[in-house]
Amino acid sequence: MPPPYRAENIGSLLRPASLLQARQDWQQGRLSLPDFKRVEDRAVNEAIALQEAVGLPVVTDGEMRRLVFTGSLTEAVEGIEPVPTPRWQWHGTRPEDDMSFRLPVCVTGKIRRRRSLAGEEFAYARGRTDKPLKMTLPSPLMLALFWSPEHSTAAYTDPFALFSDAVDILRQEIRELADLGCQYIQIDAPELATLVDDSQRQHTYEARGVSTDRMLGEGVDMLSAIADTPGVTFGLHLCRGNNAGHWMSQGGYEAISKQVFRRAPRYDIILLEYDDWRSGSFDALADIPQDKTVVLGLVSTKANSLEPLDGLTARIQQAGQHFPHQQLAISTQCGFASVAQGNPISPELQEQKLRLVVELAQRAW
């Protein structure tokens, strides 16, 4: 069955404790690389088995081989070194949970591809399931958060030259994944949805020299440029940040919908965070061309509680007033573990939420 699918997991799943420990042991020289890879393999097997057991029509490898969701790019290129980035603000469920965060690495030189970004992930997972397999890759614009006015300008006087190099790397990777048989690739572009918040625009991007107007113009054109491989269905996923239960931005998609949704025509599927008040109303769905599929991220990977089925069904009906019901689908709001630490929910609740996504899709369609 080709995409689109009525029920999806966005990408990452909670890392088992055995994998977290094995990564630490490998990094500290207490575990060999072959032994670490065997632990990774087992975690991928378990992630796929979970998704199959709950009845998802399409699966991912859970992003088990990545330290963070951008790792397929940032861990596979030269030019990124362990130099901290500037700080930016993340928000928790309460004001006292807010945190100032900085990445431990940043761009210090010209980026060059050292190895395949996701070839190992796809080739291994393809042999472990009969289900369709979705691959996730980060947007080239995500490197805005790895950009430092102090340390990056020696290699790139303009951050958009950095993004352009990332486009070339991602296009090569996508062609290679297609040659391996990959038919569905999701590009994760949370940086676009964080632009709905003026505070993040100013303090996270503009303050470090990244033009948000250019991100919504030239940047979206770059996103469209990577979705050009025949035989591959492309999805574009937007959220407002997902870091161990914290978020970056709040505000409706109306602030960016006209610039983004019609400027990226090569994406067949638009996957949108819609799990709480921060996402605003469904009004912006009217700005999406009606030849697309819209996947509503109604089931939260942040909230440590299970949403009521009837309430979610009503929200699908509300969305159908702004976009054709038969071109809607359901997903979790984001990954369960965009960073290795994961969001503050239990593996048991993770499974319940994945089952809820499937049950919701079955009821709605």
User: CA torsion, points 94, 97, 103, 104, in degrees to nearest 10?
Assistant: -170
Write the pLDDT tens digit of every residue in 112-144: 999 998 999 999 999 999 999 999 999 999 999
Parts of the chain with a pLDDT under 70: 1-2
pLDDT attached to residue 278 = 85
For tokens 């709905």, name the residue.
196
Percent of the chain with pLDDT over 70: 99
CB 249 within 8 A of CB 194: yes
CB 304 within 8 A of CB 17: no
pLDDT attached to residue 195 = 94
pLDDT attached to residue 12 = 95
CB 258 within 8 A of CB 107: no
How many helices (H) and strands (E) in the chain? Answer: 12, 11
Write the pLDDT tens digit of every residue in 150-178: 999 999 999 999 999 999 999 999 999 99
Q: pTM to 2 decimals?
A: 0.95
Residue 339: C-alpha distances to residues 29, 233, 241, 343 (Å): 22, 26, 11, 8
- Residue 42: both structure tokens together: 């087992």
* Domains of the chain, start order: 7-364 (3.20.20.210)
Most distant CA pair in the chain, distance: 57
